[in-house]
Chain A
């Protein structure tokens, strides 16, 4: 299958700290890749570079043929709104917008805010009954599901998640993982950064980072072709 993410020789240095050191990594379309490793190993740094929020010091990042290194801020913004869906550990919902409006916000930057499709996206993550709730009135799991709906609304090519279950209890974690399974089944490419072994093992492949380097590649599960 086609490689949708191709990272080669990627390094990132923050002053003296080498957060990433010659990382090579490919992700095929429809694959679910987990990125694991101890704290400070460079997981978030890697993900942030892939989603165009941070820029590499060296190396190349090709997303569906598009080279991210060297894009302008405006081109990166366009890449983010058109190609990737982002899910954060801290959710990052706008507190004064209700669930539907939070989803529509991403749509607004992309094209046009449309209530109908925002509603459908929320129904898809099982929040059809929480459309006009503010984030503060939603449980952690519900908030994360709003984030997933927001990440999906512009039909991205890849879904990038940094510790999506880090702030969730077991039950909510399960709900989120079920959603990921479902998306994976529909052919979505997922890159999930996690500490949690059970979350990591849900993916097709685990990439282990340590001190900014890729350690081992394991295939805990049968690869879905």
Chain B
């Protein structure tokens, strides 16, 4: 799967409040830390495996462990309408 942002959805740095925020038509939500790590790597070109590899490197954790979390996170963000496959 290669996730990309749904139309009209983007990740934005809310500097005034020192946080990142997902902006969508007529709504916004604040991603938790894990979701934010995943969302920052979503560019419409990287597939799920590439995202997992990068995160495994970043957190020096086994890819299998990270993989399960990332998969769940991506499905959740798709269900929320923030991402598409």
Physical interaction between A and B: no
Interface residues of A (CB under 8 A from B): none
